Amino acid sequence: MMNNKNKDEKNNEKKDEKKDEIIEKDENKNEKKDEIIEKDENKNEKKDKIIEKDENKNEKKDKLIEKDENKDEINFYILCPEDLIYGNLLTKETRHKIFGKVSGNANSIKPENYQREKIISITGYKCIKTNIRINLRNHTLENISQPNKNINGFDYSENFDGYQSIKNKKIYINFKCIVGKGGSQTRSLREVYWFIEGQLNLLLNNNDNIYFANILDGDESHNCMTKFEYLINLPEYKNINDKVYIGNLKNYFNYLNNLFN
């Protein structure tokens, strides 16, 4: 009898031990589950932080976009400096005094550089050099640097000297400073006349935020201004002639003020 009791006790002890092992395993499983849950919570927390960061980034982007939109809404107004040299103030003598000998040497670009620099500093917008020309046959703008290499080279105007983009308006600029009387000056101004006629004809076919500015400084340019006024006021151009500026450097800034305000 005693032996049977001892066996039963031993068996019971073993059973209890197994139960304890099972309980311990379950506890370990639960611990692991808790660890996994904790890891998932940490992952979710990280995801939330990433989402929060992305939301903050988007918020910053929205603010930047809003700033740019507000910038476009701000009135564009230019104050022209009193010491500006323009129009018929530039005679052969004054041009020589300011820029040196202009014709036929490296100084010939100096009046153009002066006009460009003043436009950049006064408007606050860059004025880049360009190879854009008008194809006078099909009334389009084309980027071509050496048209005369082609058989149709004479179909093209001279290139625009500058380009500005101001509040979604594309402005192509022609710089000229023509002083003194003579055959050369007359030929130059007649070329400008045909160039402007090409601009007006292009606008009859393409009116997509395109503007042209012809900065004509110098006393001889001033003397011939009535001829350009005749051209721009022809009845066929009455609906688009406000998109072409012809005049001196100072009045160009007045034109821009009227255009944007």
**Pairwise CA distance, residues 157 & 136, whole Å:** 7
When divided into structural domains, the chain yields a total of: 2
Domain stop point among 20, 52, 74: 74
Q: Is residue 192 part of a domain?
A: yes
Strands 140-143 and 132-135: antiparallel
Q: Is residue 254 part of a domain?
A: yes
Q: Is residue 189 part of a domain?
A: yes
Structure tokens at 251: 């009045």
Residues 236 and 211 in one domain: yes
The pLDDT, as a whole number, for residue 67 is: 42
Domain stop point among 74, 109, 130: 74
**Pairwise CA distance, residues 115 & 121, whole Å:** 10
Residues 123 and 229 in one domain: yes
Q: Greater confidence, 62 or 103?
A: 103
Residues 65 and 104 in one domain: no
Q: Is residue 23 part of a domain?
A: yes
Q: Greater confidence, 119 or 3?
A: 119
Residues 103 and 69 in one domain: no
Q: Is the pLDDT of residue 70 over 50?
A: no
Residues 60 and 108 in one domain: no
The pLDDT, as a whole number, for residue 61 is: 54
DSSP class per residue in 95-142: HHHHH---TTSGGGGHHHHHHHHHHHHHHSS--B---EEEETTTTEEE
Q: Is residue 81 part of a domain?
A: no
The angle at the Cα of 62, spanning 58 to 66, to the nearest 5 degrees, equals 170
Residues 56 and 145 in one domain: no
Containing domain of residue 17, as a range?
Answer: 1-74
Query: How much is the average pLDDT of 81-85?
Result: 86
Q: Is residue 163 part of a domain?
A: yes
What percent of the chain shows pLDDT beyond 70?
Answer: 70
Residues 103 and 166 in one domain: yes
Residues 139 and 240 in one domain: yes
Q: Is residue 80 part of a domain?
A: no
Residues 150 and 56 in one domain: no
Residues 104 and 127 in one domain: yes
The pLDDT, as a whole number, for residue 78 is: 83
The pLDDT, as a whole number, for residue 121 is: 93
Backbone angles phi, psi at 156, to 5 degrees: -105, 145
Q: Is residue 111 part of a domain?
A: yes
**Tens digit of each residue's pLDDT (9 = 90 or more) over 191-226:** 999 999 999 999 998 878 999 999 999 999 999 999
**Tens digit of each residue's pLDDT (9 = 90 or more) over 111-128:** 999 999 999 999 999 999
The pTM score is 0.71
| pLDDT range class, residue 175, cuts 50, 70, 90 | very high
**Tens digit of each residue's pLDDT (9 = 90 or more) over 35-46:** 766 776 676 676
Q: Greater confidence, 76 or 111?
A: 111
The pLDDT, as a whole number, for residue 195 is: 98
